[in-house]
Amino acid sequence: MSCSEKYVAYMHEYLDEEISTEHEKELKEHLLKCPECQKHFQELEKSLALVKSIAHVTTSDDFTLNVMNRLPKEKKKVGFQRWLRHHPLLTAASLFLVLMVGSLFSSWNTGHNLSVSKQPNLIVKNDTVIVPEGEVVKGDVVVRNGSLRIDGQIDGNVTVINGTVINGEKYLASAGDVTGEIEEINVIFEWVWYHLKNMAKEAINFFEESEQSQGVTAFLW
């Protein structure tokens, strides 16, 4: 090339859009009288136009899906929490079945042992729990696999599982006999439901708080 590198440098300044007005003027004047530099400049512009012409390709339609499938698996805890929030009752049911099915149904079928909440003034006779006349039992009373006879008073709720509430006058205690609610649970469904209601509430906290849930969640998945 016979011309100085100066004008080629100006050309690149121009292409970078960083040329000063002085250099630009100088370059234009030179290009008008120097065919060689003019050719050089045109070749530069042509090659860049060609390169730009092949832009704008698009990738395949399933690209995003393929990426998502190749991502390392999300932490179980997070995935489970999202699922849990969307299906709290179902979650509790699954959890219940997994954790409780063995012990619950075996105890339902075979466990006829009477059990009762621990209040000192309750009397147990055969499979009946008695609230003696004149006594006031403080706190909630829970009787399992047995009946509850209320001769005195209960200051709390009553839950009888697989049994009945026997009251001197009527099934429902009159005011003063039981201050809280009376609930009888006598079929498996109700028994399950009773636990589910509690577990639905507890499960969310349990899984959100506990790192130890990993094993359980993985199992549930």
Tokens of 13: 């300044």
Q: Which of other proteins, Zn ion, none is residue 219 near (CB under 5 to 8 Å by kind)? A: none
Cα radius of gyration (the chain): 41
What angle in degrees, to the nearest 10, is found between the helix axes of 35-53 and 21-33?
A: 110
Is 53 one of the binding residues for other proteins (CB under 8 A)?
A: yes
- C-alpha pair distances (Å), 69 with each of 62, 63, 160, 187, 221: 11, 10, 52, 46, 17
For residue 60, give every residue at least 6 positions away whose Cβ sits within 8 Å of its Cβ, in sequence order, or none.
Answer: 66
Structure tokens at 197: 């209601």
Bridge-based pairing state of the strands 165-167 and 182-185:
unpaired
Least distance in Å: CB of 50 to Zn ion?
A: 23
Which entry of other proteins, Zn ion, none binds 86, CB below 5 to 8 A by partner kind? Answer: none
Dihedral (Cα; 151, 156, 161, 164), 10-degree rounding? 30
Q: How many residues bind other proteins (CB under 8 A)?
A: 34
21 binds, among Zn ion, other proteins, none (CB under 5 to 8 A by kind): none
Q: Does 133 bind other proteins (CB under 8 A)?
A: no
In the sheet where 141-144 sits, what is the strand order?
A: 115-116, 141-144, 158-161, 182-185
Question: Residue 147: what are its φ and ψ, rounded to 5°?
Answer: -105, 165
Give yes or no for residue 15 binding other proteins (CB under 8 A). Answer: yes
Q: Which is nearer to other proteins, 81 or 117 (by Cβ)? A: 81
**Is residue 1 part of the contact set for other proteins (CB under 8 A)?**
no
Q: Considering CB distances under 5 to 8 angstroms, the limit depending on partner class, which of Zn ion, other proteins, none binds residue 85?
A: none
34 binds Zn ion per the rule CB under 5 A: yes
Stretch that binds Zn ion, among 3-11, 54-62, 89-97, 173-181 (CB under 5 A): 3-11
Does position 44 interact with Zn ion (CB under 5 A)? The reply is: no
Residues that bind Zn ion (CB under 5 A): 3, 34, 37
Residues that bind other proteins (CB under 8 A): 12, 15-16, 40, 43-44, 46-48, 50-60, 63-64, 66-68, 70-72, 74-75, 77-79, 82
